[in-house]
A and B are shown apart, each in its own frame.
Chain A
Amino acid sequence: MTIHERDIDKLCVLARLALDEGERKHAHDDLTRIIHMIDSLASVATESVEPLAHPLDATQRMRADEVTERVERDAFQRIAPSVRDGLYLVPRVVE
């Protein structure tokens, strides 16, 4: 499949990345080559083959509905960029 420069802009929005013009051009060149490489998968016959998500075909375990973890808010917030009164601070979202 062909990737256009406007596709890179859309991917940047989806991935929350702000690239400058030079970076966008590099990204376009790189992705063109990478997508060409992964497009070769189309030639592999996979009719009636189920997708594999876990190599040992394991499924999610269940556990007893018991409290096992302690709340470590203070420890985790010590490494946060900006907190006050136990809350993470971000730019104003609602006026």
Chain B
Amino acid sequence: MNPFATVTELADGIRAGQFSSVELTRYYLERIERLDARFNSFITVTAERALAQAAAADARYRAGTSTPLTGVPIAHKDIFCTNGVRTSCGSKMLDNFIAPYDATAVARLDAAGIVTLGKTNMDEFAMGSSCETSFYGPVRNPWDPARVPGGSSGGSAAALAAGLTPAATGTDTGGSIRQPAAFSGICGLKPTYGSVSRYGMVAFASSLDQGGPMARSVADIALLLDAMAGFDAKDSTSAINGHDGKAAAATAARPKPMKIGLPTEYLAMLTDPAFARVFDEARRVLESLGHTLVEVSLPHTAAAVPTYYVIASAEASTNLSRYDGVRYGHRCEAPVDLTDLYERSRSEGFGREVKRRILTGTYALSVGYFDAYYLKAQRVRRLIRDDFVAAFGSVDALLAPTAPGVAFPIGQISDPVEMYQQDVFTVPASLAGVPALALPCGFHEGLPVGTQLIGPHLSESQLLALGADYQRATDWHRRTPPRVE
């Protein structure tokens, strides 16, 4: 069995009788058991549940009721609630939290017959770009275990890169699917805001949070998106006429020649010529496929990081006020009064980065500062969104770098503002709510480099068709880490 096979190849293998879902599931569980001590990509492994789901999947093949995902294993970021299974969000605060229900994204994938291997490690409450802030310890990059896998969905990215799962879920508030995909040499999609239900996804910044698939190929991303996405009445901001559910069909055929924009402001930030050349090669491949590339301007790019950190921190401080030590989660020992209960439960339960964001958000929302920060950031957010809308008036998609460099060593970045600059290419699409697909486009100093294709609202099928076109002409997504057997 090939641990780096795609979802499509594995489902074909089950269908052809080469192996059963139970055998496939045992194979990945054994790899996790044997290899994950090196990467720390899983927080919880759900072997019993996985084998029961796999047996049910095998029965579906016999009954003729299988879907293209039936029997294939997946790992869920530990931010998605899974009924009866710990959902920690990478935090001591939720270390004892056994979710009493399933997230909609999890329930939809379960209904398609997918097999849940376990829950992946992440930055605490999804706040981070390196997977160093987890209560369960840092995740290591399979391409170089001394380096970060990116974050916050770094456990999902590392598990994919190490061949511990063929598919994963992630969430992306400001780049948390795309940046770890780039650092770990895999693919990830941040869908249009509202495409994938937020129900059962532990909330960070509600106007930005968006769940999405992570996998080895764009074709796999399309299959997973079709199963995960769709209107959900349980999510108050779910898109009513959202994803068309036709991504898998769209990736099977060649797309019409497209006009693709290169944002001038992003190109100006690529200061390392060797790194810029890797990215430029992606442009050349798309041109060779018959697409036209032109420079476009997104004039408010420089304002995106500060705008994002005001909005995301403000919404986080509000969302995280629910952790009070009363109804669920961590509670301090022997509180003397109610204030002591709140303050000590929260101070013991949250890590440093989470406290930093709560304090930043509290500041931005406090009396006298609300207009200058939160309201101001919401106005700038409209300008940033309108930049994208204007650009998509003349191009079908944008081609951009995903991160300003390759995966950095664990412990290298300690200044929070320097860390926030890692998100410079990912937060604009988050603020604009547009879909963005990260995919591998080469190597720099032996480490994977990612690019992203960004499209208009709800253009996922077209965007994935373009990504699949690129992957038929390249094999970067089939490369695997040299020292992972």
What residues of chain A have their CB less than 8 Å away from a CB belonging to chain B? 1, 3, 7-8, 10-12, 14-19, 23, 26-27, 30-31, 33-42, 44, 46, 49-56, 58, 60-61, 63, 72, 75-76, 78-82, 88, 90-93
**A41 and B377: CB pair below 8 A?**
yes
**B347 and A18: CB pair below 8 A?**
yes
Which residues of A sit under 8 angstroms from B325, Cβ to Cβ? 81
Complex interface residues of chain B between 330 and 347 (CB less than 8 A to chain A): 331, 335-344, 346-347
Tell me whether A46 and B326 are in contact in the complex, defined as CB-CB below 8 angstroms, given that A33-B416, A38-B364, A91-B336 are known contacts.
no
Tell me whether A15 and B317 are in contact in the complex, defined as CB-CB below 8 angstroms, given that A44-B380, A54-B207 are known contacts.
yes
Smallest beta-carbon distance B29→chain A, Å: 27
Which residues of B sit under 8 angstroms from A8, Cβ to Cβ? 359
**B240 and A44: CB pair below 8 A?**
no
Which segment, of B13-21, B60-68, B132-140, B299-307, faces chain A?
B299-307
- A/B pair count, beta carbons within 8 Å: 177
Which residues of A sit under 8 angstroms from B268, Cβ to Cβ? none
Cα distance A22–B326 in the bound complex, in angstroms: 28
Tell me, yes or no, whether B154 is within 8 Å of chain A by CB: no
Q: Which residue of B lies closest to A88 (CB)?
A: B326
Which residues of B sit under 8 angstroms from A10, Cβ to Cβ? 366
Which residues of B sit under 8 angstroms from A72, Cβ to Cβ? 100
**B366 and A14: CB pair below 8 A?**
yes
Which residues of A sit under 8 angstroms from B359, Cβ to Cβ? 8, 11-12, 15, 17, 27, 31
- A79's partner among B98, B338, B417 (CB-CB below 8 A) is B98
Cα distance A14–B355 in the bound complex, in angstroms: 12
Tell me whether A90 and B326 are in contact in the complex, defined as CB-CB below 8 angstroms, given that A34-B416, A82-B331 are known contacts.
yes
**B362 and A14: CB pair below 8 A?**
yes
**A17 and B346: CB pair below 8 A?**
yes
What residues of chain B have their CB less than 8 Å away from a CB belonging to chain A? 96-98, 100, 192-194, 207, 233, 236-237, 239-240, 300, 302-303, 305-307, 309-310, 317, 321, 324-329, 331, 335-344, 346-347, 350, 352, 355-356, 358-360, 362-364, 366, 369, 372-373, 375-383, 385, 415-417, 420, 431-434, 457
Cα distance A66–B382 in the bound complex, in angstroms: 36
**A16 and B376: CB pair below 8 A?**
no
Which residues of A sit under 8 angstroms from B432, Cβ to Cβ? 55
Which residues of A sit under 8 angstroms from B380, Cβ to Cβ? 41, 44, 46, 49
**A80 and B417: CB pair below 8 A?**
no
Which residues of B sit under 8 angstroms from A14, Cβ to Cβ? 362, 366
Cα distance A38–B340 in the bound complex, in angstroms: 32
Question: In the complex, given contacts A23-B352, A44-B376, A72-B100, what are 10 additional A-B residue pairs having Cβ atoms less than 8 angstroms apart?
Answer: A19-B347, A40-B302, A40-B306, A41-B307, A55-B432, A55-B434, A56-B457, A58-B237, A90-B341, A91-B335
Tell me whether A41 and B376 are in contact in the complex, defined as CB-CB below 8 angstroms, given that A18-B344, A50-B382, A88-B327 are known contacts.
yes
**A16 and B328: CB pair below 8 A?**
no
- Which of B321, B377, B379 gathers most chain A CB within 10 Å? B379
